[in-house]
Amino acid sequence: MMADQTIQKINRLLFYAILIFIVTVFFFPFMWVAFTAFQDAVNAGAVPPDLLAPPTLDNFRQVFEEGGFISCMINSTIVVALTLTANLIVSLPAAYVIARNRQNWMMFLILFMQMAPWITLLLPWYIIFKKLGLYDTYIGLVLSNLTFMIPFTIWLMLGFFEDVPVEVEEAAWLDGCSHLGTFVRIVVPLVKGGIITITTLGFMFCWNIFLFPLVLSGYGTKTLPVFVYGFMDDNQLDFGPLAAASLLTMLPVIIFVLINQKYFRQGIAFGGGK
């Protein structure tokens, strides 16, 4: 009896020890960046760091003073908001139609569009966008984001739309609703969960995307990830400001996703992610 209990206790202890180790491995960089962002120039790069050094906001001041941080943040916000709105308007109706008339070739195209490497899209886009005057415009960035958001949204929403019983729609038609009215008043409210999921994941994808704006945005529409990349080149070994810039860049997306945690996990478990 006693021995059994002791073994159980040791087992539990061991389990939590391993758990804490795992958490440390995966969470450590965040602790480091949060710590370093508040250190002065001397302590930020010191090994081992002085954990008790007084925190300072100088690094953040430097990030904000470096031209463009605020405007890049605004650009990012605008592009994300526009993309997510446009995405819902374009993808939801299409996903609904496909869900009601599913065919194999459609499914394959949607899958393949998610698989295609972004760099191969970027080459022709660069030429086309320059020609059409879409280079360095919000529209251009939104369009580039839509290209991966649309197939992903359709893919994810199919299941949600298929779960809406056809009879419910038919009941609405008989009640006197048009097709469009049925879609807006009956179907869309029933896939609300999917819409929140797609918006959460979409916020993450669009906020984080680097390659498209790296090539397709200029001074006018530069987004935060591109800003951080440039900031890194300018401040090679200045760990404090670099950490502050990294922290500021990822804070909005982390907060947004954590608010919708439940939906985020659903989305991840669904698609095996991107």
Partner 1 sequence: MLSQRILDYTDRQIRWLFSAPALLVMLGLFAYPMFRLIWTGFTDEVLSSEGKIEFIGVANYVRAFSEDPHFLRSIWLTLYFAVGSTLGQLTLGLGLALFLNRQFKGEATFRMLLMFPIIATPVAMSLVWSMLMNPMMGHLNYYLSLLGLPGSLWAADTSTVLPSLIMIELWHWVPMTMLVLLAGLKSLPKEPFEAATVDGASRFQMFVNITLPLLQPYVFLLLLLRLVHGLKVFDKIFVISGGGPNRASETLNIMIYEQAFGATNFGYASALGSFLLLIILLISIGLFRFRQRKWSY
Partner 2 sequence: MSQVKIDKVCKKFGDFEAVKNFSLEIQDGEFIVLVGPSGCGKTTLLRMVAGLETVTSGEIFIDEAQITHMPPKKRDIAMVFQNYALYPHMNVYKNLAFALKLRKMPKPEIKETVKKTADLLGIGDFLNRFPNQLSGGQKQRVALGRAIVRQPKVFLFDEPLSNLDAKLRGSMRAEILDIHQRLNNTSIYVTHDQLEAMTMGTRIIIMKDGAIQQNGTPQEIYNNPVNKFVAGFIGSPAMNVMSCTIKEETGNLMAVNKGMNLTIPAEKTTGLTSYIDQDVYLGLRPEHISDLAGNATKADNSTFKAFVRLVEPLGSEQLIHLEAEDQRFIARIDPRSHITYGETLDFQAQMASATFFDGKTEERIV
* Residues of this chain, 190-219, that bind partner 2 according to CB under 8 A: 190, 192
Q: Does 224 bind partner 1 (CB under 8 A)?
A: yes
Tell me the site size for partner 2, rule CB under 8 A: 17
CB of 102 to partner 2, least distance (A): 18
Residues recorded for the chain: 274
Q: Which residue, chain included where needed, has tokens 């199919």?
A: 158
Q: Does 94 bind partner 1 (CB under 8 A)?
A: yes
Question: Which pair of tokens denotes residue 254?
Answer: 């982390």
- Contact criterion met (CB below 8 Å) for 93 and 161: no
Q: Could you say which DSSP state residue 237 is in? A: T
- Contact criterion met (CB below 8 Å) for 203 and 253: yes
Task: For the segment 137-196, give every residue that binds partner 2 (CB under 8 A).
Answer: 165, 167-168, 170-178, 181, 186, 189-190, 192
Question: Which pair of tokens denotes residue 216?
Answer: 């397709």
**DSSP states of 24-48 as a string?**
HHHHHHHHHHHHHTTS-HHHHT-SS
Tell me the site size for partner 1, rule CB under 8 A: 94
Q: Does 74 bind partner 1 (CB under 8 A)?
A: no
Q: Does 171 bind partner 1 (CB under 8 A)?
A: no
Task: For the segment 180-219, give every residue that binds partner 1 (CB under 8 A).
Answer: 180, 183, 204, 207-208, 210-211, 215
Amino acid (1-letter code) at residue 197: T
d(C-alpha 49, C-alpha 183), whole Å: 59
d(C-alpha 4, C-alpha 177), whole Å: 67
Report what 173 binds from partner 2, partner 1, none; CB cut-off 5-8 Å by kind.
partner 2
Of 54 and 117, the one with the shorter C-beta distance to partner 1 is: 117
Interacting residues toward partner 2 by CB under 8 A:
165, 167-168, 170-178, 181, 186, 189-190, 192
